[in-house]
Structure 1
Amino acid sequence: MGVVAEGGPLETIEYTVADGIATICLNRPAARNAMDLQLAEELLIVARRCAADRDIRAVLIKGNGPALTVGGDIRYFTECAQPYGDLFRRMTGPLHEAFRILSRLDPPIVTAAHGSVAGGGLGLVYIADFVLAAERTKFATGYAAIGISGDGGGTWFLPRLVGPRRAAEMYLLNKVLDAREAVEWGLITEVVPHDELTHRAEDLARELAAGPTKAFGQMRALLRASWDNTLSEQLVEESEALAATGNSADATHAIESFAAKRSPTFEGR
């Protein structure tokens, strides 16, 4: 399969932007949104579009069909002529770059999970700020079952989200979490009734899209950096971020509105 053209039509993802919200909807429902090379390439395309569009104020990730994504497409793997390791290297190139870009956006990300979320598809959970899951959703790495080591940033994110012991359990023992356990472990934010998932996720995305986007971007960066910085380094970064956001149009308007006892209207500037 060749490289997907940046400006061409997308076949495995539905991508729309409306009212400041970019919606990334995985669209291989017959395959339960399993990831092949084309989906990985198209995810990178839409990640770059999100990064380039200054009018985007929030991102919503979801999936058509019975699952958000079951991870790698095993049938696709077996049909490819090249050795599996070479194929995995080709796939993780665009997939990991997409996750890297999405994790560094200013606009916050909401992921709506349902059915199953497994393997590299868990990257769509890791890079989100809020993850809403329908009841009966299952989460699993699944790598040990097929003798591979893992992708999607899980070895970086999982120890930070659930702790190193629980991360080892999910990787080495293929521990499957239901939605309630996923909340308890800190993997996701909230469990909602299945028929309310889309509505609740869209409402949350709209709420975030009405907020101070530049400040959100600095918050996302600071929270990410805190894992690797010393306290002194983090305090310096907080001062710099505060100076940057304090000079923004949104902060100026919001501070003046607060002083005047008015509700601010943020424009993401």
Structure 2
Amino acid sequence: MPQPALLEKHGDVATIVLNRPEHANAIDPDSTRALIQCIDAVAAEPSARVVVLRATGRMFCAGGSIDFFAKGGADFPAVLDELLGPLHAALHKLATLPVPVISAVNGPVVGGGIGLALCADIALAAESMKLRGGYSAIGLTPDACSSWFLTRRVGPMRAKQIFFTNDSLSAQQCLAMGIVSEVVPDAELAARTTALAEALARGATGALGRIKQLVDGAHERSLEAQLDLEHRLMVESAASAEAREGIAAFLSKRVPRFS
């Protein structure tokens, strides 16, 4: 039986693969445990300079498994309670890694799959990608970071409309709203993802991590606090080997070799 989530490593790029295409990569206990293991392994891997999250099949993720929900019966709330704690902790770990995270959204994404797709720093989408809330249609509420990440991208009013109405949004609509970073033809998604991941892996990883820290928390800080953090991180960056190499490469008119 194939693993519902896989971890692949190619050079400096670690890739987490949702691998239940026959079940639309839906989230259930088995896939959750496999995903958590992959995220824990990535977080413990010091050589990973970029992380990619992608899926096999024609759908990125259908959200929570309705079969799993139905089988829960009277124990469903307790089983879900036990499942969500570790899953949410793992997604927080993935979203806050000090390296760039890219999601390659190859097709429709629903419910909890939204959180998986949008926990990335950069979300690339195939033209066949569609997004649908789905939760309220079965009497449930968002999980897996989906409400947090979607609200940050589109604002409270549009996020509520998406989750209230469960209308499907096309890839181009998602691009216009800022939900995804870029839309490419389906046949080009893998190559575009690889090219971006490899380019970022050649970058100044320490600086990218500090940029991520600045941007991710900017909306929660006052201007004064943001300026203080910019000050501190700029001084830290200036003391790094990356800065010395970057400046030397610029002056020598060569490509920097960050390590």
TM-score normalised by L of structure 1: 0.92
Task: State which of 36, 45, 54 in structure 1 corresponds to 2:46.
Answer: 54
Kindly tell me: are residues 222 and 10 of structure 1, through their superposed partners in 2, closer, same or farther at Cα, counting changes over 3 Å?
Answer: farther
Using the TM superposition, give the Cα deviation of residue 236 of structure 1 relative to its aligned residue in structure 2, in angstroms.
0.8
| Other structure's SS at 2:17 match | strand
Would the aligned equivalents of 2:119 and 2:145 in 1 still touch at CA under 8 Å? Answer: no
Whichever residue aligns with residue 146 of structure 2, its letter is G
For the aligned residue pairs, the C-alpha RMSD in angstroms reads: 1.6
2:72 matched to 1:80? yes
How high is the sequence identity, in percent, across the aligned residues? Answer: 35
Query: What residue number does 1:189 align with?
Result: 181
2:57 matched to 1:65? yes
2:225 matched to 1:233? yes
Task: State which of 145, 149, 157 in structure 2 corresponds to 1:157.
Answer: 149
Structure 2 unpaired stretches of 5+: none
Structure 1 unpaired stretches of 5+: 1-8
Using the TM superposition, give the Cα deviation of residue 10 of structure 1 relative to its aligned residue in structure 2, in angstroms.
8.2
Would the aligned equivalents of 2:6 and 2:34 in 1 still touch at CA under 8 Å? Answer: no
Whichever residue aligns with residue 242 of structure 2, its letter is D
Would the aligned equivalents of 2:4 and 2:30 in 1 still touch at CA under 8 Å? Answer: yes
- 4+ residue segments displaced more than 3 Å: none
Would the aligned equivalents of 1:27 and 1:64 in 2 still touch at CA under 8 Å? Answer: yes
Q: Distance in 2 between matches of 1:218 and 1:40?
A: 30
| Other structure's SS at 1:49 match | helix
Using the TM superposition, give the Cα deviation of residue 158 of structure 1 relative to its aligned residue in structure 2, in angstroms.
1.7
Q: How many residues matched?
A: 259
Using the TM superposition, give the Cα deviation of residue 121 of structure 1 relative to its aligned residue in structure 2, in angstroms.
1.1
Task: State which of 122, 135, 138 in structure 2 corresponds to 1:143.
Answer: 135
2:88 matched to 1:96? yes
Task: State which of 22, 37, 53 in structure 2 corresponds to 1:30.
Answer: 22
Task: State which of 146, 154, 159 in structure 2 corresponds to 1:167.
Answer: 159
Using the TM superposition, give the Cα deviation of residue 167 of structure 1 relative to its aligned residue in structure 2, in angstroms.
0.5
Would the aligned equivalents of 2:115 and 2:147 in 1 still touch at CA under 8 Å? Answer: no
Would the aligned equivalents of 1:37 and 1:90 in 2 still touch at CA under 8 Å? Answer: no
Task: State which of 37, 40, 43 in structure 1 corresponds to 2:32.
Answer: 40
